[in-house]
Amino acid sequence: MLQKLSLFSLVLLVLLAPSAATAKLEVVATTPDLAAIARDVGGPDAHVLALALASQDPHFVDAKPHLALALSKANLLLLTGAGLEVGWLPTLLTGSRNPDIQTGGAGYLDCSSLVPLLEVPSTAVDRSHGDIHPQGNPHYSYDPRRVDALAVGIGKRMAELDPAHKSGYFLRTKTLLEGLRTARARWEARLGQARGQKVIAYHNSLPYLADWLGLEVVEHVEPKPGIPPNPSHIAHVLERARADKVRAIVQQAYYPSGTSKLIADKAGAMFVQIPGYPDFAQGQSYTAYMDDLVTKLAKALVVR
């Protein structure tokens, strides 16, 4: 009888031990920037996926049912917050049936709570201002100074959810912060001459980049956030671009480029298309993404 029990225990150990040892924290990020940071922090202890593609406008992601399936297995949900995903995430979140990642759950991390936000309205706003974000501008990951706080917040939450691997999360967070500090010095040195340059953005998604690099966004191709451009507005933007000697039209690759190229051409400015997010699916890190972004900006904004 004892022999049978021992054999049974051994079988149980063999069956259960590998799964316990290899169990990873399942992390789902709504956008690839958060996913890239989470992958650096999570390392081999976490399995990370992103709901939106790098090439996708994060405001308009289809709530495809298989994304709810991914959320149903998640231990941790990272969202950009500030209303960025309001048009698609709530449906998926309810459909996931996962209590751990519902609002207020231990596995729900609204990353906008980790960083100081810009453009939080100080007066009443409504949709006559366009599709604005009353909680503040959500495009904060273009500022690597804020990414420090994101990495720390994500690392802390991973450690809380998976205390067995706390030291790993800590060490990788520390490594990421050190790497970011070095990279940031490199990026700032490279773009130092760009401070004070005037640019035009397509959507109001560059205030954090401008805040970090000292750029001045003088106009937007969209007349108001989320409102498609019209001829009279574009004429106004062109006039402004000429008057202010705007150096570049900067926009994410997921926005239409024809109008912006026209403005750049007529105003003698450069058209700079930046990737909206790190190509997480292809393994690109946040640092590699910013290297690429800084290179593109430097070509347009730094006088040689």
Among positions 167-226, residues that touch other proteins (CB under 8 A) are 167, 169-171, 173-174, 177-178, 188-189, 192-193, 195-196, 211-214, 226
Rule CB under 8 A: say whether 257 interacts with other proteins: yes
Tell me how long the chain is: 304
| Residue 175 structure tokens | 């490594």
x/- binding map, residues 262-291, to other proteins, per CB under 8 A? ------------------------------
The site for other proteins, by CB under 8 A, has a size of 83
Nearer to other proteins, 39 or 85 (CB): 85
Q: Which stretch binds other proteins (CB under 8 A): 108-116, 233-241, 242-250, 260-268?
A: 108-116
User: What is the smallest separation between the CB atom of 259 and other proteins, expressed in angstroms?
Assistant: 11
Nearer to other proteins, 3 or 122 (CB): 122
Please state, in angstroms and rounded to a whole number, the distance separating the CA atoms of residues 207 and 218: 11
| Residue 212 structure tokens | 């970090």
Please state, in angstroms and rounded to a whole number, the distance separating the CA atoms of residues 25 and 108: 13
Please state, in angstroms and rounded to a whole number, the distance separating the CA atoms of residues 130 and 225: 5
User: What is the smallest separation between the CB atom of 182 and other proteins, expressed in angstroms?
Assistant: 13
User: What is the smallest separation between the CB atom of 192 and other proteins, expressed in angstroms?
Assistant: 4
Binding residue for other proteins (CB under 8 A) from 46, 50, 114, 199?
Answer: 114
Binding residue for other proteins (CB under 8 A) from 112, 259, 260, 287?
Answer: 112
Closest-CA residue to 205 (of 277, 270, 257, 151): 277
252, 230 contact by CB (below 8 A): no
Please state, in angstroms and rounded to a whole number, the distance separating the CA atoms of residues 200 and 219: 5
Please state, in angstroms and rounded to a whole number, the distance separating the CA atoms of residues 105 and 153: 15
Residues 116-175, interacting with other proteins (CB under 8 A): 116-118, 120, 122-123, 127, 130-131, 134-136, 143, 145-146, 148-149, 152-153, 155-156, 159, 166-167, 169-171, 173-174
Amino acid type, 82: A
Please state, in angstroms and rounded to a whole number, the distance separating the CA atoms of residues 145 and 125: 28
